Amino acid sequence: MSKPNFKAMSQKDLQAYVLAHRDDQEAFYAYIDKLHAEATWIEMPPLESAEDLDNYPEFVEHIRKSSEPHDKAI
């Protein structure tokens, strides 16, 4: 059985593959490389308290938007 082309896979497909093949280290490292290449996270220093979030309104808004349901139809 041949391995899939990890570089051609989307991040979502590669994540699903890694979760289904947890012992495949090559796939895991390809997934980590893809995460670093796409860099969709927000970096910030560690917080001292919950009030520190007031200093990062962009981060709070990003989290708020990403936690909203995608399908708003009832």
Give the pLDDT confidence of 42-60 residue by residue, as tens digits.
677 788 888 888 888 888 8
Would residue 1 count as lying in a domain?
Answer: no
Query: Is residue 32 in a domain?
Result: yes
- Which pLDDT does position 71 carry in this prediction? 61
Residue 21 inside a domain? The answer is yes
Q: pLDDT confidence of 12, banded at 50, 70, 90?
A: very high
pLDDT exceeds 90 at position 32 = yes
Please state, in angstroms and rounded to a whole number, the distance separating the CA atoms of residues 58 and 8: 32
- Sign of the alpha-carbon dihedral angle for 17, 21, 26, 31: positive
Q: Which pTM value belongs to this model?
A: 0.55
Rounded mean pLDDT of 58-66? 84
Take residue 34 and report the two structure tokens written for it.
């893809």
Look at the chain and report how many structural domains it folds into.
1
Q: Check: CB of residue 30 under 8 Å from CB of residue 7.
A: yes
Identify the pLDDT of residue 74: 53
Query: What is the C-alpha to C-alpha distance for residues 47 and 17, in angstroms, rounded to an integer?
Result: 34
Phi first, then psi, for residue 8 (nearest 5°) are: -85, -15
